[in-house]
Amino acid sequence: MSADKSNQLLIREAIRKIALGRSMERIDLAPGGMSGIGTARMVHGYVVKIHDDPSDSEYSEYAGTIDVGEYPDETASSEPVIHKGVLLSAATSDKGGFLIVPTLFSDVTIFMDAATRYAYVVNFSHVNILRLNARQETIIGVTELEELDPSSDSSPDYDELEATGNEAITKYTPTSAVTTVKNDQDKEASVFIDAETITHTVDKSEVKQTADKVVQKVNSTTISVADNKVALGDENATEPLVLGNELAQLMLDFMTECSKVMTPTLMGTMSPINFPNFISLTSRIQKFLSKTSYTK
């Protein structure tokens, strides 16, 4: 090999080390000949900019992406290395689908492929937006399993562990959302939501809300609230409630008039013998008025 050729190789290798820094070791160890996978890099950095402002001059080119700066220990460059237009979760925009938007200046790990020149965020330390928008159905839940016994050779594997009965699951469809929570005592509570109804159910208790009515039911006892009507005991109740103050005043007036009744006797006109009882009853009228419940 000529001296000039050798010098060129040394210069090229020196430039390569400066450009790639510590990541060069990972590139050297990676397998080649797989559509550029051998030139892939994993970069640890931080979010420099989030391209979510339509008024920004770079928005038209980088909308829905972020800029990531490499940490100093990832590169030997004296200037900060900024990767522009890093894609979020392998998405090509921020509209629809699965999206995670990290917090500004938070830590991220990005995957870069020199063959496609694309960079994707694969890990986040802090997140501003987490969105999962499916076309047909999304299920999010937690199911508790029995603990694995690593000290026992006969212990079931993770995929064979029995469920404890404690679980919480939410199922979303384009028309409804259903959240169900169960425990190991066979108790269950659920919430059903669609565009016209919200129903809360706990055992034999239920609250159902529609646009024109709210109905709360425990076994066969019902309270319903509709426009200009509140029904107690049964949704179809027809007996009206009384107005407490009006009834109290009516009773006061009635007993006052009764106390004025005069009875003719041989000794002349006299008040009823039980006149003192009317006074006692009058003082008790206010006691049957509730101090916590009111009607109109």
CA distance linking residue 141 with residue 19, whole number of Å: 45
What region does 64 belong to: left with phi over 0, alpha with psi -120 to 50, or beta? Answer: left
Of residues 135 and 261, more confidently modeled = 135
Do 109 and 143 belong to one domain? no
Same-domain check for residues 143 and 128: no
Residue 153 lies in a domain: no
Q: Which has the closest alpha carbon to 140: 130, 148, 129?
A: 130
Same domain? For 271 and 222 the reply is no
User: Is there a domain that residue 102 lies in?
Assistant: yes
Q: What pLDDT was estimated at residue 24? A: 55
Q: What are phi and psi of 275, to 5 degrees?
A: -55, -40
Domain count, the chain: 3
On whether both 177 and 123 belong to a single domain, the answer is: no
Query: 295 in a domain, yes or no?
Result: no
Q: Are residues 224 and 265 located together in one domain of the fold?
A: no
> Is the domain of 95 the same as that of 128?
yes
For residue 164, count other CB atoms closer than 10 A to its CB: 13
SS3 89: coil
Task: Determine which of 8-12, 124-128, 195-199 has the lowest per-residue pLDDT on average.
Answer: 8-12
pLDDT tier, 206 (very low <50, low <70, confident <90, very high otherwise): very high
Q: What b/e sequence results for 203-215 when a residue is b if at least 16 CB atoms lie within 10 Å of its CB, and e otherwise?
A: eeebbbbeeeeeb
124-182 pLDDT, tens digit per residue, is 999 998 888 888 999 999 999 998 888 888 888 888 889 999 999 999 999 999 999 99
Residues 129 and 166 in one domain: no
**pLDDT (0 to 100) of residue 37:** 45
| Closest of 198, 175, 178, 174 to residue 188, by C-alpha | 178
**pLDDT for residue 277 is more than 70:** yes
pLDDT at 76: 54
DSSP characters over 126-178: SEEEEEEE-SS-EEEEEEEEPPP-TT-TTSPPGGGPPEEEEEEEEEE-SSEEE
Q: Give strand pairing partners of 30.
A: none
Residues 118 and 20 in one domain: yes
Sign of the Cα pseudo-torsion (141, 146, 151, 155, in order): negative
Percent of the residues in the chain that have a pLDDT greater than 70, as a whole number: 82
Give the range of the structural domain holding residue 84, as residue numbers without chain letter.
Answer: 3-133
| Same domain as 211, residue 281 | no
In this structure, the answer to whether residues 227 and 255 fall within a common structural domain is no
Tell whether 57 and 129 lie within a shared domain.
yes
Q: Which of 73, 99, 133 is the last residue of a domain?
A: 133
